[in-house]
Structure 1
Amino acid sequence: MVIGTGRVLLKLHGVKSLKEKRKIVKSITGRIKNSFNASVAEVGLNDIHERAEIGFSLTGNDQSMINSVIDKIFNKIDAAGLAEIIETDFEIFTY
């Protein structure tokens, strides 16, 4: 079993309220869930309207496939153009 986890730190431009932030975060997390069948949530910076921290996890049986999907998730977030990616990190665990 292979488990991949990732975290993305985002800068939200022009966002002036937590309501606007939630709309963007919901859109990003929904796209990831629908496209990659991953578990996704906002995991930090909940009260700061200019930043968002999103975490996700995946399971599978092939490490290279999990690594590829993680890269695709990062690319999809970037391509959406809803926020600027400040930082990304990920880990892959094999059991």
Structure 2
Amino acid sequence: MVVAVLECRCRILGSTSLKDKRRAVKSGLSRIRSRLNLSVAEVGSQDDRQFADLAVAGVGSGSRVVEQELRQAQSLLESIEGLEIIDAEIAFL
């Protein structure tokens, strides 16, 4: 069994309020949940309107498969309008 986590530090472009931030973050989270078999959550910077810390977790039988799914999740986040990934790192537990 392989467990891995993708941690992303994101900048929310053009966000003037927490409501704007929530819209961009929620869009990314729902896309990942609906298209991939992964768990995802905002894990930091909840009170900062311009930054978001997101974590995506996956479990599988092989590290290659889990890493591929996490890379797909990162690509989905990159495609969200108004959301820019500053830093992303995959860690195997």
- Give the TM-score taking structure 2 as reference length: 0.93
Q: CA deviation at 1:17?
A: 0.5
Checking the alignment, whether the CA contact within 8 Å between 2:11 and 2:86 is kept in structure 1 is: yes
% same residue? 28
Which secondary structure does the structure 2 equivalent of 1:49 belong to?
coil
RMSD over aligned CA atoms reads 1.0
The one-letter code sitting in structure 2 at the alignment partner of 1:85 is I
Which residue of structure 1 lines up, in the alignment, with residue 63 of structure 2? 63
Which residue of structure 1 lines up, in the alignment, with residue 83 of structure 2? 83
Which residue of structure 2 lines up, in the alignment, with residue 11 of structure 1? 11
Checking the alignment, whether the CA contact within 8 Å between 2:56 and 2:70 is kept in structure 1 is: no
Q: CA deviation at 1:81?
A: 3.0
How far apart in 1 are the matches of 2:6 and 2:83? 17
Q: CA deviation at 1:82?
A: 3.1
Per-residue deviation, residues 26-67 of structure 1 (Å, max 9, x unmatched): 111011111112111100000000111111101110111011
Which secondary structure does the structure 2 equivalent of 1:37 belong to?
coil
Q: CA deviation at 1:68?
A: 0.8
Aligned length: 93
